[in-house]
């Protein structure tokens, strides 16, 4: 991982702000998240979190995560923003995915960008690797950080909630 600076940081801010705009459309009742995938300076896929196929019948945001069996590995009810962005890019620009960079952002309750925690979602990290995405970008308190996709996947498996 490395923190961005200069022009590269400014460019990343633009893409993170674009992801934040997309996150404003998220319909999840827990968190509003957005992602953009960029290849060769162009956005090739976008996504926000919401129930599968935006079907209200599939909304489970009010369910307590503890109510699910331990074998249920993803206890969120919504499709993740990263998953949606990957599927969008696969539909519209599949040839552009190899070598691309995924930007992810979460909004705070006030609608402003919230800084990210450590990599933790193994579902999205595996899907990114499988799709050919090579870098994953998060905005931490220390700055905008780019991870190699393999490193991100490994860190996701090491995640421990420190609350």
pLDDT for res 72: 47
Q: Which residue has the higher pLDDT, 161 or 103?
A: 103
Per-residue pLDDT, averaged over 28-45, amounts to: 94
Tell me what the pLDDT averaged over the chain comes to: 88
Determine how β-strand 32-39 pairs with β-strand 143-148: unpaired
Q: How far apart are the first and last CA of the chain?
A: 23
Radius of gyration, CA atoms only, the chain = 15
Reported confidence tier of residue 19, pLDDT bands at 50, 70, 90:
very high
57, 55, 85, 112: CA torsion to nearest 10? -80
Q: What is the CATH number of domain 2-55+75-158?
A: 3.40.140.10
Q: What is the pTM of this model?
A: 0.88
Q: Where are the domains of the chain?
A: 2-55+75-158
Task: Select from 56, 48, 55 the least CA-distant residue to 19.
Answer: 48
The pLDDT assigned to 68 comes to 45
Q: Say if residue 157's pLDDT is above 80.
A: yes
pLDDT tens-digit series, residues 56-115: 655 555 556 565 455 545 556 688 999 999 999 999 999 999 999 999 999 999 999 999
Please tell me whether residue 66 adopts helix, strand or coil conformation. helix
47 and 88 Cβ atoms separated by less than 8 Å: yes
Query: 25 vs 79, 80, 106, 107, CA distance in Å?
Result: 13, 13, 12, 11
Residue 139 has pLDDT above 90, yes or no: yes
| The predicted structure's pLDDT at residue 163 | 46
Closest Cα partner for 121 from 144, 142, 102, 141? 102
């Amino acid at each position: 991982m490395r923190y961005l600076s200069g022009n590269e940081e400014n460019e990343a801010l633009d893409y993170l702000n674009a992801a934040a705009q997309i996150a404003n459309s998220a319909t999840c009742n827990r968190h509003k998240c957005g992602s953009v995938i960029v290849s060769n300076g162009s956005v090739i896929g976008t996504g926000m979190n919401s129930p599968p196929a935006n079907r209200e019948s599939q909304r489970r945001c009010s369910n307590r995560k503890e109510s699910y069996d331990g074998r249920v590995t993803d206890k969120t009810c919504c499709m993740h923003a990263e998953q949606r962005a990957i599927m969008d890019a696969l539909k519209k620009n599949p040839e552009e995915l190899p070598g691309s960079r995924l930007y992810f952002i979460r909004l705070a309750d006030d609608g402003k960008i919230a800084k990210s925690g450590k990599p933790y979602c193994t579902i999205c990290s595996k899907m990114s690797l499988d799709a050919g995405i090579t870098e994953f970008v998060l905005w931490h308190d220390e700055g905008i950080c780019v991870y190699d996709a393999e490193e991100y996947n490994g860190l996701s498996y090491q995640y421990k909630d420190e609350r």
